[in-house]
Structure 1
Amino acid sequence: MVVKAVIFDMDGVLVDSEGFWAKAELDVFSSYGVQVTDDLATQTKYMTTKEVTEFWHGRFPWENLDVPKVEQEVVSKVIELIQAEDCTMSGVQTFIKDLKSKKYKIGLATNAPLRVADAVLEKLQIRDLFDTVHSSEFEEQGKPHPAVYLTSAKQLGISPEYCIVVEDSHSGLKAAKAAGMKTIVFTNNDESINSDLADFKILSFESVQVPIL
């Protein structure tokens, strides 16, 4: 198999930011009377921001404020945390620069809104390394639906079978597989991550060994 493009997930791959989403959602939704519980929050973990906001509004409807505005409050809070905290995955910039030097096309495909992706790429100072940056906010469905990956491949001009995806979640791996792509699970040294759908595994970007690349 020949790999021509590497497409990265963002949260949990480029930046250790998943805790930021939990904090932002708790802070924002609680301020509108939502009773955020761990059990319900688990159900929203891999949803898009729009889906998460609609999920909580459906259970604890707030008044005098539309859902999109509350969604943007969450997004803004996450961006603030990304900008303020040390959350860059160690070694990821060097890893991507190495791929770019070997002439691979590089893409980013995330369930997060595009303005969060822009904030992350600016923080890591790697925006110029990416040939495409795409968000599920422009698709009818987010991961685990494959749309965000299929569109990314189209934007790269590379057929899905020549793309390999770096993901950290079962939902993301499922999306990549459904798109017909090879998969790499990035565990950040967490052996509890479900990697059944992964063709390869990266424990750390600082000590990476990916035979297919």
Structure 2
Amino acid sequence: MEIKPAKAVIFDMDGVLIDSEKFWKQAESEVFSSLGVKITDEFTQFTQTMTTAEVTEFWYKKYPWDNIALDIVEQQVISRVIELIATEDCTIAGIKKFIEDLKSKQYKIGLATNSPYRIIQTVLDKAEIAHLFDHITSAEFEEHGKPHPAVYFTSAKNLKVDPQHCFVIEDSQSGILAAKNAGMTVIAFTNQNSEIYFDLADHRIISFEDPLPALFS
């Protein structure tokens, strides 16, 4: 049977549209430390792939605090990340032109992130790309975040494109696994890095400033 070309490109957000990992670390350190949490590199390795709600619950179980609900703490972290995104230089180089070139080739453009929904608009405004997306979604609305494929299935459904006809651009191991488990073609955005888990992807993109790869033709 003939394999039809992909009709949609779905982007991860953190690390793909913006360089935000450092903001999450800073916000979590500020907020959780103020509550008596002793943040260590050993434990942050576990929290890197979690949703914000999961991270908040993780630290609460390690260092329970009083007088403030977990959902309020979670929102404090999110608000701090939004502040940092809005005020710092963090847009990934070349991303706007890259998406514009995909749109010119009639691809539908989606966004599927583990990050909370209310951060998304700040990111899209920062990169000046909000008008280029046909659908955006967050794992906040799913029972499970990445590496579970649910957020990618939701994205494909709303884009009205079969998962097998979707490209996904990811930079994390959990995201790559989520997209693979959704049956999508996965492109690792390496950003000059050399992580072993990039081998799980079907293709690689080193920089969005390079010409559009031939696989999108």
Q: TM-score, structure 2 length as denominator? A: 0.96
| Alpha-carbon separation, structure 2, partners of 1:50 and 1:20 | 16
Code of the residue aligned with 1:30 in structure 2: it is S
CA distance in 2, matches of 1:127, 1:41: 31
1:200 to 2:203 alignment: yes
2:17 to 8, 14, 18: 14
- Report whether the alignment pairs 1:119 with 2:122: yes
Task: Say yes or no: does 1:175 pair with 2:178.
Answer: yes
Structure 2 counterpart of 1:142, from 142, 145, 158: 145
Matched, 1:52 2:55: yes
Q: 2:154 aligns with which of 151, 155, 163?
A: 151
- What is the identity, as a one-letter code, of the residue corresponding to 1:194? Y
- Paired residue secondary structure (1:120): helix
Tell me the distance in 1 between the aligned counterparts of 2:31 and 2:211. Answer: 38
1:192 offset after TM fit, Å? Answer: 3.0
Which residue is equivalent to 2:103?
100
**1:111 Cα shift?**
0.3
- SS at the partner of 2:156? helix
Whole-Å separation in 2 of the counterparts to 1:204 and 1:99: 15
Residues matched between the structures, number: 213
Q: 2:77 aligns with which of 74, 78, 86?
A: 74
Q: CA deviation at 1:193?
A: 5.2
| Alignment pair present for 1:88 and 2:84 | no
TM-score normalized with structure 1 length: 0.98
Greater than 4 Å deviation, 4+ residue runs: none
Check the 8 A contact 1:187/1:193 in 2, yes or no: no
Give, as a single letter, the amino acid of the residue that structure 1 aligns with 2:64: P
Distance in structure 1 (CA, Å) of the matches to 2:117 and 2:205: 26
Aligned residues with identical type, % of pairs: 58
The whole-number CA distance in structure 1 between the counterparts of 2:195 and 2:160 is 35
In the TM superposition, residue 211 of structure 1 has moved relative to its aligned partner by: 2.8
Q: CA deviation at 1:209?
A: 4.9
> Is 1:187–1:203's contact at 8 Å kept on the other side of the alignment?
yes
- CA offsets per residue over residues 146-173 of structure 1, 9 Å max, x none? 0000000000000000001000011100
Name the aligned partner's letter for residue 97 of structure 2. T
Distance 1:9 1:193, change over 3 A: farther
* Cα drift, residue 114 of structure 1: 0.9
Retained in 1: the 8 A contact 2:98–2:212? Answer: no
